[in-house]
Amino acid sequence: MSRKQFGRHGFVKTLEMFLAVAIIFIFLIFAIPQSARLYSPGQDLSVLEGLSEEQAFRQAVLAGNSSYINSSIRNLLDENGLSMLNFTFSVSSNPNFVLQAIPAEQTISYSMFISAEGSSYSPKILRIYAWKK
């Protein structure tokens, strides 16, 4: 074979390789289910960390004021661009408490341990479960 034929053969092999990579890339884009791309690792409920430091929210959790807890969580999710999430929560003093019926298959959860600052010690665990609407 002449040198020119080796060069042409190498060019064809290189072109085949780029074409194969492009086909695989396009396949992966369409093969990954849309639902798997809905939640990115950065899209978690860590935006709720600030709530545990708000005194009014802490008192609402300790008192079991579910309407205040619900509105505070909804407002914070909306402010941080997570309005596409539905959520439910549980307040319990039992660390092993598990919500019996989680409404969605892909659920993000977040827990907060809230305790009183006074002389009475009755800590509560707030667990928030969120899923896409």
Task: Say yes or no: 16 and 59 in one domain.
Answer: no
Tell me: the pLDDT tens digits for 55-80? 899 889 988 899 999 999 999 888 88
Task: Say yes or no: 20 and 59 in one domain.
Answer: no
Whole-number pLDDT of residue 129: 86
State yes or no: pLDDT of 32 exceeds 80: no
Candidate from 41-55, 100-114, 117-131 with smallest mean pLDDT: 41-55
Task: Say yes or no: 55 and 103 in one domain.
Answer: yes
Question: Residue 93: CB partners within 8 Å, gap ≥ 6?
Answer: 122, 123, 124, 125
The C-alpha angle 81, 83, 84, rounded to 5 degrees, equals 110
Task: Say yes or no: 21 and 50 in one domain.
Answer: no
Q: Which residue range(s) make up the domain with 62? A: 39-132
Task: Say yes or no: 25 and 43 in one domain.
Answer: no
**Residues 10-19, mean pLDDT to the nearest whole number:** 90
pTM (predicted TM-score): 0.63
Whole-number pLDDT of residue 64: 87
Task: Say yes or no: 44 and 72 in one domain.
Answer: yes
Task: Say yes or no: 74 and 120 in one domain.
Answer: yes
